[in-house]
């Protein structure tokens, strides 16, 4: 079983992941478990304060080091107590390494992950220095907090776990899994608003269908994401 621990001020948000779709089924099947740790539970004052003004001035508030560090430590302790041997702590940050399918596959090989979801103007940098192994970004834009980014990362990992997706071929054939975008897909009816499904897909000739899909995937990638083809050449 994979172990995921998430440090977040809004643990209720993660019910969208654990109670819906294939990720919900994966949890129900015992393929992974997810525990959220609210830094407010580790605050030192009656008001459960977790943020303060930044030293040196500036707009907004910064999440304080002590509650975050204690929440991360709690997640790491739970994982070690559950027998997790390989785990990393990830901070979801717009300054991090951009998430790719290759990175998803790399992280999915670990026994566990501890994810830190930031809020406000960020977190005290000493937490990153002392607790975080990787900073990961889901794109070059800014969100209100790291929860959505954490769910994107978790979704992309969970669906790769054996037994989560019923048809494993659907995972292998998807965009980015093979280094190209996915080929066009069609279902009934055969004609929609005058547009027909390509004849080859109705032929029943599996070799020709496979070749057609490969050609279409390459063409679509060349048109929409030529950078992927360049990256594949440079990796070879």
Give per-residue pLDDT as tens, 19-47: 999 999 999 999 999 999 999 999 999 99
pTM for this prediction? 0.87
Domain boundaries, the chain: 2-158, 176-235
- pLDDT value of position 230: 80
| Furthest CA-CA distance within the chain | 70
- Report the CATH superfamily, name and number, of domain 176-235: tRNA(m1g37)methyltransferase, domain 2 (1.10.1270.20)
What do you get for the CA distance between the two ends of the chain, in Å?
34
Residues in the chain where the model's pLDDT stays below 50: 175-176, 236
Q: Are 155 and 23 in contact (CB under 8 A)?
A: yes
Shared fold status for 2-158 and 176-235: no
How far lies 114's CA from each of 15, 38, 89, 111, 117, in Å? 17, 13, 5, 11, 10
CA–CA separation, 214 vs 169, rounded Å?
A: 15
State the SS3 of 104-116. Answer: HHHHHCCCEEEEE
pLDDT at 167: 59
**Whole-number pLDDT of residue 169:** 56
Consecutive H or E run containing 47 = none
Residue 75 CB burial class (10 angstroms; 0-12, 13-18, ≥19): buried
Instruction: Report the candidate in 161, 163, 139, 160 with the shortest Cα–Cα distance to residue 149.
Output: 139
pLDDT at 177: 57
Q: What is the CATH number of domain 2-158?
A: 3.40.1280.10
């Amino acid at each position: 079983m994979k172990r995921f621990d998430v440090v977040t001020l809004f643990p209720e948000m993660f019910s969208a992941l654990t109670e819906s779709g294939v990720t919900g089924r994966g949890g129900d099947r015992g393929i992974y478990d997810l525990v959220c740790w609210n830094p407010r539970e580790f605050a030192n004052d009656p008001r459960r304060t977790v943020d303060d003004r930044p030293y040196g001035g500036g707009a907004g508030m910064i999440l304080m080091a002590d509650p975050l560090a204690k929440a991360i430590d709690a997640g790491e302790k739970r994982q070690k107590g559950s027998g997790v041997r390989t785990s990393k702590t990830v901070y979801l940050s717009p300054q991090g390494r951009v998430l790719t399918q290759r990175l998803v596959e790399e992280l999915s090989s670990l026994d566990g992950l501890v994810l830190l979801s930031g809020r406000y103007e960020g977190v005290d940098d000493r937490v990153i220095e002392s607790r975080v192994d990787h900073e990961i970004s889901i794109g070059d834009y800014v969100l209100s907090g790291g929860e959505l980014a954490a769910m994107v990362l978790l979704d992309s990992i969970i669906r790769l776990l054996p037994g989560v997706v019923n048809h494993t071929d659907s995972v292998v054939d998807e965009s980015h899994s093979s280094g190209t975008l996915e080929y066009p897909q069609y279902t009934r009816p055969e004609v929609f608003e005058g547009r027909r499904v390509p004849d080859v897909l109705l032929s029943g000739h599996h070799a020709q269908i496979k070749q057609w899909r490969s050609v279409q995937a390459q063409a679509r990638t060349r048109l929409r994401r030529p950078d992927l083809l360049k990256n594949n050449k440079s990796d070879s």
